[in-house]
Amino acid sequence: MMVGSMQESEKLRDERGASAVEYGLMIAAIAAVVIVVVGFLGQDVVDLFARACWVSVC
């Protein structure tokens, strides 16, 4: 009986560890996507604000 409960306890601990790793990987993937998108669109956004400033005479 005790052996079964110890194995279940270890299994729960292992599943929580795997979830933390998976969340870490998802956060890293999202961060990579944000960096790529900002890299592609960054100058376009700067130009857009610069043009808006010229139109409204900031």
Instruction: Kindly tell me if the per-residue pLDDT of 58 is higher than 80.
Output: no
Convert the pLDDT of each residue in 4-52 to its tens digit: 565 666 666 556 666 888 899 999 999 999 999 989 988 888 888 888 8
pTM exceeds 0.95 for this model: no
Task: Pinpoint the alpha helices (H) of 1-58.
Answer: 2-56
Distance (Å, whole) CA 15 – CA 13: 5
